[in-house]
């Protein structure tokens, strides 16, 4: 039986206030949603373990994600850079109903890259349960993803749609360089 390799990775969630960063973490870690808006002061760190499997050899990988939910206010930028230190990757989150939140993503990305270098990022366009109120065009999302050589996932913390998929996709990227083949989800 192959030995289970263990990886620990720091993942930051970045984006403006009220885009749903805390709700995404809560949905993924606790599988629950709360409509009440609670401002994140500073940062909140949550840990979650998951397993991936390498298709070629059946090697199991245990990944401990240290998920840093970082405050969404743009003013205390020096605090953000402190929280970014040691990050292996980041979700950069926008609210599909608020156009200004996608415009702000570039500032979050550049701030992260300036602090920790070019780490993997994944754009999350959240609140797709409110798609009829969408203020962001698909082309805007695609253009930003192309500019930063990444992809995006449309999510809903409220319904849970694509939340687990996004975390597994990022986990694969965070360990990809350490294994020959990209792992796939294993229960």
Q: C-alpha 94: how far from its chain's center?
A: 11
Structure tokens at 120: 């993997």
State which residues form the domain around 49: 5-185
The residue assigned the tokens 């959240």 is 126
Strand partners, 70: 43
Q: Provide the CATH number for the domain around residue 112.
A: 3.40.50.300
Q: What tokens does 138 get?
A: 């698909």
Q: How many domains does the chain have?
A: 1
The rounded average pLDDT for each run of 10 residues, N- to C-terminus, in the chain (187 residues) is 84 94 95 67 81 79 94 58 91 98 95 95 98 96 97 97 97 81 48
pLDDT digits (tens, 9 = 90+) for 105-151: 999 999 999 999 999 999 999 999 999 999 999 999 999 999 999 99
């Amino acid at each position: 039986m192959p030995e289970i390799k263990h990886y620990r990775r720091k993942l930051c969630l970045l984006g403006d206030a009220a885009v749903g960063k805390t709700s995404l973490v809560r949905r993924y870690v606790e599988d629950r949603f709360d409509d009440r808006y609670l401002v994140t002061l500073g940062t909140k760190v949550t840990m979650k373990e998951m397993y991936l499997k390498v298709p070629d050899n059946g090697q199991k990988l245990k990944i401990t994600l240290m998920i840093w939910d970082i405050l969404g206010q743009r003013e205390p930028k020096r605090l953000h850079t402190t929280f970014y230190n040691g990050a292996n990757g980041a979700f950069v989150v926008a609210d599909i109903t608020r156009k200004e939140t996608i415009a702000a993503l570039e500032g979050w990305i550049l701030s992260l890259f300036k602090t920790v270098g070019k780490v993997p990022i994944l754009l999350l366009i959240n609140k797709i349960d409110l798609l009829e109120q969408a203020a962001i065009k698909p082309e805007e999302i695609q253009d930003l993803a192309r500019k930063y050589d990444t992809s995006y996932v449309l999510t809903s913390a409220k319904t849970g749609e694509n939340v687990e998929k996004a975390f597994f996709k990022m986990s694969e990227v965070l360990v990809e360089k350490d294994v020959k083949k990209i792992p796939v989800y294993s229960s």
